[in-house]
Amino acid sequence: MKSKRKLLYGLLPILFAGGIGMVLYMQNNKPEEAKPQTTVNQYIEHLQKKEFDQLYSLMSPASLTEAGMTKEQFVEKYSAIYSGMKVSVIKAELQPSQSSETEAGADAGENTDRETSSQAKTGQESEDKAQQNESNPDLYEASYNLHLTTFLGEISETHTITLVRKELEDGSKIWQINWQPSLILSDMVKGSKVRVKTLFPTRGNIVDRDGLPLATQGTMNEWGIVPEKLGDQPDQMIARIADHYSVSVEGIQKALNQTWVKPGFFVPIGSTEEFDIPDSLRGVSLQSKEVRYYPLGEAAAHLIGYVRKATKEDLDKDSEGYYRAEDWIGKAGLEQSMEKQLRGERGALIEITDEAGNPLSELIRKDAVNGKDVQLTISSAQQKRLYQTLAGGGDAGAMVMMNPKDGNLLALVSAPSYDPNKMVTGLTQAEWDAYSANEKLPFINRVTTRYAPGSTFKAITAAAGLMENVTTANKTHDISGLQWRKDDSWGGYYVKRVKSLSPVNMVDALVYSDNIYFAMEATEMGSAKFIEGIQKFGFGDNFGMDELYLKPSQYANEAHKDLSSEVLLADTSYGQGEMLMSPIHLATAFTPFVNEGKLVKPVLIVGKETSDPVAIITPDVANTVKNALKQVVSRQGGTAHALSSIAGGLAGKTGTAELKAKKGEQGRENGFFVTFDTESPSFLLAAVIEEVNGRGGSHYVVDRLKPFLEKLQLDQ
């Protein structure tokens, strides 16, 4: 018995030590309780990586239930908001707590042992202690600064998250976040939404020299159909509507079959000038709509152009990524070439709204920058009158009116034309077919088209010859008959003239438009001197008219620019051969005869930097040519003598250019006329009318312009 008792007493210390060891072992191997800072760090990490499904797992189920938020809804809400704002970067930075900072400050004044002890605590533990709720150890708060990089710029907010400690079934505890809408954006509450709103700029106006609109904002009547109001026989009613508005039944059906259409919706179909709906048309409704408006209509269509909704092709070409399908974009004329200046820059705002869409707060805004107005040197009155002068005869051609003293372009007209307002509101099929079938091509801008200028160019050849001291006003040639060639080397080629006259001097040759005289003068000058003399008049220069897409004129094709062929040199001297000049250049080339030899370049945009006039010929040469051009009008038999009754001392030069594929065939003739007032030089006018065959050639152009010039002189 004693031995048993002895054994038991011997085991007690061992058992006691083992128990102590087991307790110590269990304590040392007990899982460490989760810390709130771990959850906070996970929250920050998942938020910055946009891992919204992982973010969801950190939220307390109770808070999600209260918000009525499933996992799918949670992820969708975050994704929709951040993608709508085009958030590219999310940065969250924890704020150091005030208590922690105070404790650190106090520690700094203690001895080394205390410092060592403090350093033994991690920063995380210090944060935990500082932000632990003293009255409720199961609550924890952490504040952080949120920075969102959106497509509009930076949004910065301060957020506070509240964590709750929850005990799991196995007895362990975890920290979860109480979710609320303000964790997405601080001003959000239950039911609120984030809206990204586009702020559209107002397109700049195009105005004339007096500030009168050439392109501006206007209104139109848009007609459409409300499907549920078509009545019991909708197909029959649609047929009746189509007939009234000159559209196809198929077009209406296509509009009504769009996916967004509902029975009570207004479905826009087209524009109308009517303000009342016939009683017989059921289902039709009218709405007023703001559109781009062109007050001069056809009279300025080629100059101003028009806007249309951006097409897929426009979007594909958009290297800036600016345009969207609903945007309007310039498609022709100045509307196209000055698009960036006129359109302005779109803005946007990001705002928080309530469930009904009412704004609650604005997060960030970038105001739209309205387009800039463009003022032209054009006179609306002259533009309209000159267009009526050209288009009234049903002709195809162009007319350019400028002030030769300052270069201001007063009118630029091209015919036939089109209605730019219809291009905005939409053409009917019948209207489009009519434009397409027009052989005179109404969409061609003939103001910038390059033509062989015919005999109008003889004034420039005369000036070149005078400058080279080859030609003089009284120098004569004895010319026999109506055709001439220099020698047998020309083969069967002859220069022809209309009027038989001999001898002929320079003035006679301009008055009666003698081709042979100027062919003789050019061949005598030789190609080098001739090219040097005429090139000063603006060849190879578009005069800064980029807004009009103006191509530089040419006196010959690239392969023949040396004019080494005397036949080509002779033809070029009277504006044929391979010469091509735009009506704008033709008008510009005559400005030295008004300005004592100085070439004045054309000006279209008010305020645009322009170059100074350049002296290209001497005043004596300019006046010699000008006086000869006056006789084109004043002398009996002059090609523009029909204008001699108009007061003001008109000078001018006519021209007819024949275009044919080969020698011997009947070609197409274009008639030209350039004129200016020598007594009060406030205008210079260059005109071309196509296909004047059998209508008097250039005389037809003179006759068309006479009423305009008569009224112009009366208005002076």
Residue where one domain finishes, among candidates 160, 190, 220:
190
DSSP annotation of 579 reads: -
Name the band, by pLDDT with cuts 50, 70 and 90, for residue 352.
very high
For residues 348-373, average pLDDT:
94
> pLDDT at residue 4 above 80?
no
Mean pLDDT for 29-46 is 84
To the nearest whole percent, how much of the chain has pLDDT over 70?
89
- Cβ atoms < 10 Å from Cβ of 415: 27
Q: What secondary structure letter does DSSP report for 177?
A: E
Tokens 């645009």 correspond to 608
Question: What is the spatial distance between Cα 63 and Cα 177, in angstroms, rounded to a whole number?
Answer: 8
Ramachandran category for residue 649: left, alpha or beta (phi over 0 → left; psi -120 to 50 → alpha): left
* 139, containing H or E segment: strand 139-150
Catalytic residue among 455, 513, 573, 582: 455
Higher-confidence residue of 14 and 230: namely 230
Three-class DSSP labels, 523-571: HHHCHHHHHHHHHCCCCCCCCCCHHHCCCCCECCCHHHCCCCCHHHHHH
Whether 295 is in a domain gets the answer no
pLDDT in tens, 596-607: 999 999 999 999
Please tell me the total count of domains within the chain.
2
pLDDT of residue 97: 62
Cis peptide, bond prior to residue 416, ω within 30 of zero: yes
Question: Above 90 in pLDDT, residue 622?
Answer: yes
CA distance 244 to 255: 17
Determine the average pLDDT of the residues in 492-511: 94
Sequence-ordered list of residues with C-beta below 8 angstroms from that of 16, at least 6 positions apart, any chain? none
Give me the pLDDT at residue 219, please.
Answer: 86
- Answer yes or no: is pLDDT of 644 > 70: yes
Would residue 455 show up in a list of annotated catalytic residues for this protein?
yes
Q: Strands 89-94, 476-477: parallel, antiparallel or unpaired by DSSP?
A: unpaired
3-state secondary structure (DSSP) of residue 396: coil
Position 174 in a domain = yes
Q: Note the pLDDT of residue 2.
A: 52
Residue at 350 is within a domain: no
Average pLDDT, the chain: 89
DSSP structure class, residue 229: G
Residue 40's Cβ-side half-sphere holds a number of Cα atoms within 13 Å equal to: 23
Is 23 a residue whose pLDDT tops 70? no
Cα-flanking dihedrals φ and ψ of residue 194, to 5°?
-110, 130
Encode pLDDT of 195-240 as tens digits: 999 999 999 999 999 999 999 999 888 899 999 999 999 999 999 9
Tokens encoding 538: 């603006």
Reported as a single tens digit per residue, the pLDDT across 142-194 is 999 999 999 999 999 999 999 999 988 888 899 999 999 999 999 999 999 99
* 440 or 23, higher pLDDT: 440
Q: Within 10 Å of residue 503's Cβ, how many Cβ atoms?
A: 11
Residue 628 lies in a domain: yes
- Residue 78: give its domain's CATH number: 3.10.450.100
- Domain assignment present for residue 638? The answer is yes
Range of the domain at 65: 29-95+133-190
DSSP state letters, 617-659? S-HHHHHHHHHHHHHHHHSTT-TTGGGTTSSS-EEEEEEEEEE
Domain C-terminal end among 151, 171, 190: 190
- 716 within 8 A of 689, measured Cβ to Cβ: no
Contact 538, 585 (CB under 8 A): yes
Give the C-alpha distances (Å, rounded to integers) separating 358 from 85, 115, 155, 181, 361. Answer: 18, 56, 21, 17, 10
Enumerate residues 6+ apart whose C-beta is below 8 A from 497. 479, 482, 483, 484, 513, 514, 515, 516
Query: Which residue is it, tokens 């009570």?
Result: 264
Asked which of 190, 205, 238 is the last residue of a domain, the reply is 190
Decide if 21 is inside a domain: no
Residue pLDDT, tens place only, 224-280: 999 999 999 999 999 999 999 888 899 899 999 999 899 999 998 888 878 889 989
Give the residue-averaged pLDDT of 359-368: 94
The whole-number pLDDT of residue 427 equals: 83
Q: What is the CA radius of gyration of the chain?
A: 43
Question: Taking residues 410-422, what's their average pLDDT?
Answer: 97
Provide the whole-model pTM: 0.81
How far is 151 from 156, CA to CA, in rounded Å? 14
User: How would you classify the pairing of strands 374-375 and 206-207?
Assistant: parallel
pLDDT number for residue 90: 96
- pLDDT at site 429: 79
Instruction: Please check whether residue 456 lies inside any domain of the structure.
Output: yes
What's the chain's length in residues? 716
Token readout for 176 is: 């979860």
Q: d(Cα 37, Cα 125) in Å, to the nearest integer?
A: 8
Residue 680 is predicted with a pLDDT of: 84
| Tens-digit pLDDT profile for residues 85-144 | 999 999 999 988 644 443 434 444 444 443 433 333 334 444 444 455 567 889 999 999
What CA–CA distance (Å, rounded) separates 97 from 562? 85
Closest listed residue to residue 63, CA positions, set 139, 133, 163: 163
Q: Does the pLDDT at position 451 exceed 80?
A: yes
Q: Of 55-69, 70-84, 104-118, where does mean pLDDT reach its minimum?
A: 104-118
Residue 355 has pLDDT above 70, yes or no: yes
623: domain CATH number is: 3.40.710.10
Q: Find the helix packing angle between 123-131 and 98-107, rounded to 10°.
A: 120
Percent share of the chain, pLDDT over 90? 77
pLDDT per position as a tens digit, 285-324? 998 888 999 999 999 999 999 999 999 999 999 999 899 8
Of 344, 418, 402, 414, the residue nearest 374 (C-alpha): 344
Q: Is 262 within the bounds of a domain?
A: no
Lowest mean pLDDT among 4-8, 116-120, 575-579, 678-682: 116-120
Buried b (16+ CB within 10 A) or exposed e, 427-455: bbeeeeeebeeeeeebebbbbbbbbbbbb
pLDDT at 17 over 60: no
Three-state DSSP class for 469?
coil
